[in-house]
Copies of this chain bind each other. A is one copy, B any other.
Amino acid sequence: MEIMKAITIKPGVKNSIEMRDAPDPARGDDNVKVKVLRVGLCGTDADIYAGEYGEAPPGDDYLILGHENFGVVEETNGNSGLRRGDYVVSTVRRPCGKCLNCQQGEMDFCSSGDYTERGIKGRHGFMAEYYTESPEYLIHIPPALRDVAVLLEPTSIVEKGIDHIYLIQRRISWQPKRALVLGAGPVGLLAAAVLRVRGLETFVAGREPSTDLRAQVAKGLQASYLSVDGMAITDLPGKTGPLDIVIEATGVSSVVFGAMQILAPNGILCLLSVTGGTGVRPEPTDRINQDLVLGNNVVFGSVNANPRHFRKGVEDFQSLEKSYPGVLQKLITSRLPWHDYGQWFGQKRTGIKTTLEISTG
């Protein structure tokens, strides 16, 4: 067995990180061997290092760290669509194989929770000299992007969020003009970049002063940087104008809940970050943010109705009268002659629905 160097941790053991010898994976007939050129570091790596997260592959007591990756094809067969020397980035999550979503290639919506993730959960990552992978999970990178391709994995998180903003809003006529990104870390700045490609007027709010490199990156994207240290989130629309899209990339729950109050009518808030680990004991509000993000959950408010919803109601009433005859009628628990309106207004209300009977026709 060949040996390679790798950076590993023992899952659940704080500060267990080490560079060690690990088996150099042999390429199987159906996969590709990739030489790793570079990995990016992110908060999840820090959480795994802190022992808060991470799961070793079956049979191993260690996990090779690293999920933001960039490499070059070392060996492949003729069917992979890739050639030796091609640059690639590997995706991270692998399907559970049993839930509806994973079966349809939507492992990012795995509903069993039994997905695996390279460098995070049940599969080795990319802080190693080599890895092997099925070609379906390798993204071919044009050589012109070799210096920035290590940013592709965090960008994919942003791309999913923005994709789903538009997928969700197909439900209405919607022409978003203005977007705000909360947080100027890598995810926040990459979100600003993608929003600019989509043609939106873009604001980035961060704690750092306007002289910070983050502000320069925003400026380079023709986005506006707002230094918000000590400012209430709810004051932001006064500086930006109505916000059709807000992307939350801080994971700080007070920011998350502030963000729920700054949307324009028909606006949408995308939560991309969970509250960082490293010993922080989450507040109940942090837990709500975690639940929404990790569950791919949607919360939406709905007011009023369109004429088509009245027509659908007529149709459903007919179905209800057929399936559950007389039940709808039971909702009307009191029928007052309309001159007796004073028996309802200003009184303690009982029953389910009261009507005022105005005429018998």
Q: Report the minimal beta-carbon distance from A63 to chain B, rounded to whole angstroms.
A: 14
B interface footprint on A135-179 (CB within 8 Å = 1, 0 otherwise): 011010110110111111111111111011001111111010000
Q: Does A7 contact B (CB under 8 A)?
A: yes
Contact check, B318 vs A142: say whether CB atoms are below 8 A apart.
yes
Contacts of A182 in B (CB 8 A): none
Contacts of A329 in B (CB 8 A): 147-148
Judging by beta carbons under 8 Å apart, are A186 and B353 in contact?
Answer: yes
Asked whether, in the complex, the Cβ of A113 is within 8 Å of the Cβ of B265, the reply is yes
Query: Closest Cβ of chain B: how far from A120's Cβ, in Å?
Result: 10
- Asked whether A264 and B321 contact (CB < 8 A) given A37-B361, A307-B137, the answer is no
Which residue of the partner chain B has the closest CB to A356? B39
- A141 → chain B closest CB, angstroms: 7
> A282-305 vs B: 1/0 string, CB under 8 Å?
001101110111111111111111
Q: Does A316 contact B (CB under 8 A)?
A: yes
A79 within 8 A of B: no
Interfacial residues of chain A within 100-129, with CB under 8 A of chain B in the complex = 100-101, 104-111, 113, 117, 127-129
**Most chain-B Cβ atoms within 10 A of its Cβ — which of A35, A150, A159, A302?**
A302
Min CB distance, A126 to chain B, in Å? 8
| Residues from chain B with Cβ under 8 Å of A303 in the complex | 108, 157, 293-296
List 13 contacting pairs A-B, 8 Å CB cutoff, sorted by A.
A39-B355, A49-B345, A106-B172, A109-B265, A139-B307, A150-B332, A169-B298, A186-B353, A196-B324, A197-B323, A217-B352, A260-B292, A298-B298
Shortest distance in angstroms between A65's beta carbon and chain B's nearest beta carbon? 9
Q: A39-B358, A266-B111 are in contact. Are A175 and B145 (CB under 8 A)?
A: no
Nearest-CB distance from A253 to chain B (Å)?
11
Q: In the complex, what distance in Å separates the CA atom of A295 from the CA atom of B262?
A: 10
Are B317 and A295 within 8 A (Cβ)? no
Task: State the Cβ distance, A261 to closest chain B Cβ, in Å.
Answer: 5
Q: Report the Cα distance A294→B147, complex, angstroms.
A: 46
Q: Which residues of B contact A107 (CB under 8 A)?
A: 304, 306
A271's nearest neighbour on chain B, judged by CB, is: B301
Q: How many residues of A contact B (CB 8 A)?
A: 160
The answer to whether B300 and A288 touch across the interface, beta carbons within 8 angstroms, is no
Query: Is A297 in contact with B301, judged by CB distance below 8 angstroms?
Result: yes
Contact code string A321-361 (vs B, CB < 8 Å = 1, else 0)? 10110111111110100110110111001011111111111
Point out the residues of chain B lying under 8 angstroms from A266, CB to CB.
101, 109, 111, 295-297
Verify if A53 is at the interface (C-beta below 8 Å from B): no
Cβ of B160 and Cβ of A306 under 8 Å apart?
Answer: yes
Q: Which residues of B contact A302 (CB under 8 A)?
A: 157, 160-161, 164, 270-272, 293, 296
Closest beta carbon of chain B to A161's beta carbon, Å: 4
A19-B341, A157-B302 are known; give 13 further A-B pairs, CB within 8 A.
A37-B359, A38-B358, A107-B306, A139-B311, A151-B331, A152-B314, A154-B353, A156-B310, A163-B312, A164-B300, A164-B302, A260-B292, A297-B300
